[in-house]
Amino acid sequence: MQRKGRGRLRLKRIVLPGEKIGVIEEFLLGEGTYEEEGVIRSQVLGEARLDLERKLAVVRPRTRTPIFPREGSKVVGEVGEVKRQTASVDIFKVDNRLITTPFTGIIHISSVSRGYTRYMSQVVRSGDIVRARVINTKNRIIQLSIMEPEYGVVYAFCSKCGALLELKRTRLSCPNCGRVERRKVSRLYGTEVLE
Amino acid sequence: MSKKKLIVKGVRLDGRKWNELRPIKIEGGVLPNADGSAYLEQGRNRIIVGVFGPRELHPKHLAKPHKAVLRCRYHMAPFSVDPRRSPAPSRRDTELSMVIRNALEPALFLERYPRASIDVFVEILQADGSTRCASITAASVALVDAGIPMRDLVAACSAGKIDSEVVLDLNDIEDKEGEADLPVAYMPKLGKVTLLQMDGMLSPEEFDKALNLALEGCNKIYELQREALKSRYVKQGEGRSAE
């Protein structure tokens, strides 16, 4: 019953990269740590936290953290070239953080919807803003999926006059020229904050 | 030979003793547009470093599928020396860029960011000897400021031989008129040397003495890097505490 009274005991201290936090016999390696010759050290400038109950050493960074798309990341980007089976995307937002130099991703026609899609241009158009999920980074280019309902086009533009299309039930219509267009629309159409 | 004496009565031309560093000032986070940055003054050296990334690498054929590419650019401003210097990258600039990259690379976890690039831009605003060491010192502060995971900080310092004596932290005249220059970069917590060059001649005994002196200098510089980072990221009076 000793554990109950003690609760979660934690020690906190500011460390720099390379500073010793403990040894591998004491703790498991958590975020922001690495091991060299049996010694656990910090990778970043931050607060080293030693969880004595879970035997886990982590360093919570105090600095900015690098933005890098990984498998599972939610990204937002502008559609570039749309080919028959693929569309390229300039990713400018990764996990809700804006980035200055874009990463390039690609959507393949097979990860657009569960049904059959004949041409990529039926679901996205050049200039659209899409919300997508990273499904693979192991190939030359970041592969994206817009399969689930929250992914897909969040802002679409009229291919005739360029105005922002409005979502009316399941159709996108142009408030300017009345043209009706089709996209793979996200459940979050029109709500994504871009800046 | 009408050579100028570099040490007069045990004191160097700028008033330092043999084992004394020049006054150093380091500041992190000076460039809002960069992901990480640092400004460094060491004697009359003035250096600014900007770090960008990890970001997508262009042209893509340079990308490595298993790790990030570290790119460094060492550049001296036209007004950094007298007489004016051409702003075009010289052969020396290209080599120093490589030297700085090689000195920083062992400290980074490049395998964490496959196909990406991490770019380090070193701009020498005013040069007064040992700029490669000062650049490495400043660049490693900028890398920490950018939040890029590192094994350790890299501190760099030079030692050398002037008027037949081994001294610490050569300035421009001492470098040019002296007999030898030994720049060293060092990861103090891991005890690993990442750069060791030598220009000129040293006997094995002098080399040992100079190397140990330079490593001592690196340790002192490390403390200053630490201070600079702590003053940016740690509140006053905050240190070790139990939650």
Instruction: Tell me how close the Cα of B65 comes to any Cα of chain A, in angstroms.
Output: 8
Task: Say yes or no to pLDDT of A45 above 90.
Answer: yes
Percent of chain B with pLDDT over 70: 95
- Checking if the pLDDT of A92 tops 70, the result is yes
Identity of the residue in B56, B150, B238 whose CB atom sits nearest the CB atom of A17: B150
Please report whether residue B120 resides in a domain.
Answer: yes
Query: Of A40, A61, A82, which marks where a domain is finished?
Result: A61
In this prediction, residues B196-225 reach a mean pLDDT of 97
Same domain as A55, residue A82 = no
Q: Judge whether B97 lies within some domain.
A: yes
Of the listed ranges A3-12, A14-23, B88-97, B114-123, the one predicted with least confidence: A3-12
Kindly state whether residues A54 and A99 are assigned to the same domain. Answer: no
In angstroms, the Cα distances linking A107 to A91, A147, B58, B89 are 12, 10, 20, 41
Q: Which domain holds residue B209?
A: 16-237
A68 part of a folded domain: no
Number of H helices, E strands in chain A: 1, 16
Please tell me whether residues A80 and A175 are part of one structural domain.
yes
Contact B150 A43 (CB under 8 A): yes
How many separate domains does chain B show? 1
Tokens coding B9: 């009565």
Mean pLDDT of chain A: 92
- Number of H helices and E strands in chain B, helices first, is 4, 13
| Mean pLDDT value of segment B229-235 | 92
Asked if the structure places residue A195 within a domain, the reply is no
Q: How far apart are CA A169 and CA A191, in angstroms?
A: 15
Contacts of A20 in chain B (CB under 8 A): 189
In this model, does residue B240 exceed pLDDT 70? no
pLDDT of residue A7: 47
Same domain, A87 and A169: yes
Burial bucket for residue A21 (CB in 10 Å: 0-12, 13-18, 19+): buried
pLDDT confidence of residue B27: 97
Q: How far is B69 from chain A (nearest CA, A)?
A: 14
Report pLDDT for B94. Answer: 98
Q: Are A101 and B153 a contacting pair at CB < 8 A?
A: no
Instruction: Answer whether A64 sits within 8 Å of B109, measured CB to CB.
Output: no
Least confident of A40-49, A166-175, B59-68: A166-175
Would an 8 Å CB–CB cutoff place A145 in contact with chain B? no
Q: What is the pLDDT of residue B57?
A: 96
Alpha helix ranges (H) inside B19-171: 91-104, 131-145
Query: For the residues B199-223, what does the mean pLDDT come to?
Result: 97
Q: Please count the residue pairs, one from chain A and one from chain B, whose beta carbons lie less than 8 angstroms apart.
A: 100
- Residue B241 confidence (pLDDT): 47
Share of chain A above pLDDT 90, in %: 85
Q: How far apart are CA B160 and CA B224, in angstroms?
A: 22
- pLDDT the model gives residue A3: 43
Average pLDDT of span A88-113:
96
One domain for residues A80 and A56: no
Partner B, chain A 77-136, Cβ-Cβ below 8 Å? 99, 101-104
Predicted pLDDT of residue A171: 87
B209 within domain boundaries: yes
Q: What is the pLDDT of residues B162-200, one digit of tens each?
A: 999 999 999 999 999 999 999 999 999 999 999 999 999
Q: Tell me how close the Cα of B175 comes to any Cα of chain A, in angstroms.
A: 32
Residue B148 belongs to a domain: yes
Render pLDDT for A4-34 as a digit per residue (tens, 0 to 9): 444 455 667 899 999 999 999 999 999 999 9
pLDDT tens for each residue of A115-127: 999 999 999 999 9
Q: Are residues A93 and A139 in the same domain?
A: yes
At A195 the pLDDT is: 73
Mean pLDDT (chain B) is: 95
Q: Which chain A residue has its CA at the smallest distance from B222's CA?
A: A16
Q: Are residues A9 and A44 in the same domain?
A: yes
Find the CATH number of the domain harbouring B72: 3.30.230.70
A79 and A113 inside one domain: yes
Higher pLDDT among residues A11 and A195, named by residue = A195
pLDDT tier at B117, thresholds 50, 70, 90: very high
Residue A88 lies in a domain: yes
The residue range of the domain holding A107 is 74-181
